Amino acid sequence: MNVNGENRPVRKPPVPLLFVVILLLGALLPQRADADRLRLIRDAEIESIIRTYATPLFQAAGLSPQGIRLYLVQDRSLNAFVAGGLNMFINTGLLMQAEHPGQVIGVIAHETGHISGGHLATRGTALEQTRGALIATYLLGIGAALATGEGGVGAAVISGGQDVALRGLLQYTRTQESSADQAAVTLLQATGQSPRGLLEFMEKLKGQEVLLTNNQDPYLRTHPLTQERITFLENALRQSPYADTPPSAELVVMHDRMRAKLIGFLQALGQVLRVYPEEDTSLPARYARAIAYYRVPDIEQALGEIDGLLAEAPGDPYFRELKGQMLLEHGRVAEALPEYQAAANALPDAPQIRQALAKAQIQLDDREMDRAALSNLAETLRQEPNNPSAWRLAAVAHGRLGDQGMTALALAESALARGRFAEARDRANHAIGLLEENSASWLRAQDLKNEAERRLDK
């Protein structure tokens, strides 16, 4: 994954607003942590793993898995939370510190309990207004976020600070926490999984209760922990028929890969080599080292590691995606293209991989490749219609093919998704003058113009 976008400081407004910058299609590069920034990351493989963990729990809770949006927060602390009803956030620190998938699954089960219990909907009017502003801006930002770069991982910025947002938005009561614990145990039981992981996670936090607030993990500050909760989970574990059922071997493999990938992208090479020394020849170790060497950058060492992995698993789409990214970012576009194509062939419904392939195709500066790129971008935009980076790439391809009307329309879409409403209005007006009257594209340009004007009026 590649981060090419700027990471500017954001002036704090009177009311905390959530602005998001998501960089699509690649892996994760570290960002400087500071008190005024909360960053989201995107990665096709990690998102798929978390979705695999969560889907059975969502289904057992009677929730539509497709209706719940999962976001990964680049933060080394232990935390997970829900906001806006159907948005779940999980810190990378939790994923990297979790010793096995059962601990992550337990936390997801607990947060699912908050969703199914409607706990966020029970706040007072003032909090609802604040939350509404945060989430509305956040969801706008999710579309706007893809504007500043083309990496598979993204960086998201919260203006106003993580603690400010969380304290106001996520202060669950002890009653709600107990209710979510009970729901978690029920969901784990329904899916044949042990509550041991959730208990282990709570025990990790228990030792922090004596720390000053600023030294505690945010999960403890926003999810009140009591001995009664620990006791409940201990009793639930004793009574569970699945108490000693370990996570499946498949989930363990996924967890080890996810953890290695995050460590490779988010920690310095020296730290990576301490966790995964050269004598460790396991798949996760080589995966982490390939990523870490690529970030240095030591492209030849990185390619040596990833080629070794591909020799053992030539059909692995995520190894292909990573190699494609390495090559593309070092100007070896023709070599990168078949790697991305192989990844897209294996995962045709992965929008991030499709966009990465389209980017490589466009960089070849060939008309046939431009047409192929538009086909791939159409699939990306079908799933992520507010992805401004994809719209910008589409504008480039349309422009090279001489379609000025569609170029203007794509630029209007990109501007609207980025929250640049005056630009979106002007681009849409330009498209209206170029497109065939009453065609689907012309009507879409009219809609974009009207929406941009409505936003400007606000």
Q: Which of 176-185, 295-304, 316-325 bottoms out in mean pLDDT, i.e. has the lowest?
A: 176-185
pLDDT score of 78:
85
Count up the domains in the chain and report the number.
1
Q: What single letter denotes the amino acid at residue 107? A: V
Exposed e or buried b per residue across 117-126, where buried means at least 16 C-beta atoms within 10 angstroms of its C-beta = bebbeeeeee
Task: Let me know if residue 288 belongs to a domain.
Answer: no
Task: Let me know if residue 26 belongs to a domain.
Answer: yes
Task: Let me know if residue 430 belongs to a domain.
Answer: no
Task: Let me know if residue 166 belongs to a domain.
Answer: yes
425-447 residue pLDDT tens: 999 999 999 999 999 999 999 99
φ and ψ of 432, to 5 deg: -60, -35
Split at pLDDT 50, 70, 90, the class of 357 is very high
Task: Let me know if residue 195 belongs to a domain.
Answer: yes
The larger pLDDT score, comparing residue 309 to residue 145, is at 309
Task: Let me know if residue 31 belongs to a domain.
Answer: yes
What separation in angstroms does the CA of 397 have from each of 337, 339, 359, 406, 411? 16, 21, 10, 10, 12
Residue 181 is part of a domain; what is its CATH number?
A: 3.30.2010.10
What range does the domain containing 190 cover? 18-239
C-alpha to C-alpha distance for 226 and 312, rounded to whole angstroms: 48
Give the predicted TM-score (pTM) of the model: 0.79
Task: Let me know if residue 293 belongs to a domain.
Answer: no
Exposed e or buried b per residue across 307-338, where buried means at least 16 C-beta atoms within 10 angstroms of its C-beta = eebbeeeeebbbbbbbbbbbbbbeeebebbbe
pLDDT score of 10:
29
Split at pLDDT 50, 70, 90, the class of 242 is very high
C-alpha to C-alpha distance for 441 and 165, rounded to whole angstroms: 40
Task: Let me know if residue 222 belongs to a domain.
Answer: yes
